[in-house]
Structure 1
Amino acid sequence: MKKVVLSLFAILAGTSFAMAADGGCDSFKWPVAREQALFAAAPATQSGAALAAGGAADLALEPVDAVSFTVPPERAPAAGTFGATASVTVPPEGELQISLSGEAWIDVIQDGHATKSAAFSGVKTCPGIRKSVRFKLTPGAATIQLSGAKDESIKVAVLAPE
């Protein structure tokens, strides 16, 4: 009887954990299934690389003091954190959704100025995805700046909003 109760407890605990994980990702303001699929196969990429809209990368970060930001990050990064820059071509629609696997600040720079985000969604209970931020931009060149990350790499997806 004791083994049956323990087995039943293990099954229920596993089910509850799976439901909590699904519920965490469902807590985003918009779907993040595309990011989950892209992050699973994101190629390793160095800071300063060009990111393709519609794709993802596992971006290597550098100590924030060593990163050459186009403009200072809007939120000053703490000492001992990591960051990176990447270029992207904004599609004709002018909207980008940038999602990260971990905590970091996102600035998008166009024409020498940081662009304010249009929408933000962040969830701490979704495995593999921490935040997703939308920007309304002008079609053409832009720079993505990441700062304040605690880890030396982060997965980033650059998508058109759904």
Structure 2
Amino acid sequence: MRAPVAMKKVVISLFAILAGTSFALAADTGCDAFKWPVEREQALFPSAPAAQSGAALTVGEAVDFSLAAVDTISFEVPPGHAPAAGTFGATARVTVPPEGELQFSLSDDAWIDVVQDGKTVKSAAFSGVKNCPGIRKSLRFKLAGGAAIIQLSGAKKADLKVAVLTPE
């Protein structure tokens, strides 16, 4: 028994609608799912120079940290999220420009605290994506111009790339 032509058109139309929806969802995955562009990080991370805990970070650049066991790191203040045993971390310094807003992007899962005047500064915005190759999350902080300490903790791997940028 053959389906009427009108029924075939309805089935084909529904298929086209569903296919279009799945293509639209596929386009909104990966790096495009971040709340802001991450192309600068993608350009910086492959050639990021090696850095150790205690390094000075420069706005507009990225580094590739060799992390240490988190229980060997002397943090300025306790991390905002208690790191699990067996994880890794580092500290760094950065000079915040007078405008005061910085964006930190991390290649993998890790906790980041930004400390100024002995106090942890809460992030102003966060975006994280699990399926963007090479970039896991990006956070924005509104800071006072001057010195700040960056604390990284809870990383499951002993290396982590970090980009320090001004928001676009």
Give the TM-score of the pair, scaled to structure 1.
0.86
1:117 equivalent in alignment to 2:131: no
Offset from partner CA, 1:95-130 (integer Å, 9 cap, x none): 000000000000000000000000000000000000
Structure 1 residues 84, 126: CA separation in 2 closer, same or farther (over 3 Å shift)?
A: same
Question: 8 Å contact 1:21–1:126 — kept in the other structure?
Answer: no
1:154 equivalent in alignment to 2:155: no
CA RMSD between the two structures: 1.4
Runs of 4+ displaced beyond 4 Å: 19-22
- Which residue is equivalent to 1:51? 57
- Separation (CA, whole Å) in 2 of partners of 1:35 and 1:113: 27
Secondary structure in 1 aligned to 2:65? strand
- Which residue is equivalent to 2:98? 92
1:124-143 equivalences under 5 Å are 124-143=130-149
Secondary structure in 2 aligned to 1:34? helix
Give the letter for the 1:131 counterpart.
Answer: K
1:26 positional shift = 0.1
* Long gaps (5+) in structure 1: 1-18
- Separation (CA, whole Å) in 1 of partners of 2:94 and 2:27: 31
- Separation (CA, whole Å) in 1 of partners of 2:49 and 2:108: 16
Secondary structure in 2 aligned to 1:73? coil
- Separation (CA, whole Å) in 2 of partners of 1:127 and 1:38: 14
- Separation (CA, whole Å) in 2 of partners of 1:60 and 1:91: 26
- Which residue is equivalent to 2:48? 42
* Long gaps (5+) in structure 2: 1-24
Secondary structure in 1 aligned to 2:29? helix
1:23 positional shift = 3.2
- Which residue is equivalent to 2:19? none
Give the letter for the 2:43 counterpart.
Answer: A
1:20 positional shift = 5.7
- Separation (CA, whole Å) in 2 of partners of 1:46 and 1:21: 37
Structure 1 residues 89, 39: CA separation in 2 closer, same or farther (over 3 Å shift)?
A: same
Secondary structure in 1 aligned to 2:41? helix
Structure 1 residues 114, 44: CA separation in 2 closer, same or farther (over 3 Å shift)?
A: same
- Separation (CA, whole Å) in 2 of partners of 1:26 and 1:104: 21
Q: Percent identity?
A: 74
1:21 positional shift = 8.9
Q: How many residues align?
A: 144
Structure 1 residues 66, 31: CA separation in 2 closer, same or farther (over 3 Å shift)?
A: same
Give the letter for the 2:94 counterpart.
Answer: V
1:140 positional shift = 0.2
